[in-house]
Amino acid sequence: MIVNRLIHGKYVTGTGIDHETRCSHYRSEIDIIALKCFKCLRYFSCFLCHHEHEDHQFKRWPKAKFDHQSVMCGACGREMSTNEYLASGSRCPSCHSAFNPGCKRHAHLYFQLPTTAKKE
């Protein structure tokens, strides 16, 4: 089972990762983003993969750092800031590949959004 995979020149960690960042937890055609943990600054396929392979909690990106690269498109390798990702309309700004719009349900796990900023 693949744990670390070089995808578009960046290592992505997760369980059963394919060539576009899909993992054993999220495997649909449009589950093609990797997310960077603010604490360890490493890309993971999803928060569950992070929990399986790290000894710390996934630290969310603070609002003050939303201009830093925190998300990578698994289709083309485009790294984007949190702001770019949140404004993307669930599509890569470079290759226009679709991202899973359901990921918005988990956004509070990766980014300190206004409704979740006090939960950390």
The whole-model pTM stands at: 0.92
Q: 6: part of which helix (H) or strand (E)? A: strand 4-7
pLDDT at 118: 47
pLDDT at 2: 77
Helix residue spans in 30-112 (DSSP H): 47-53, 82-86, 107-110
What stretches in the chain show pLDDT beneath 50? 116-120
pLDDT at 1: 73
Q: Which residues contact 57 (CB under 8 A, 6 or more apart)?
A: 39, 51
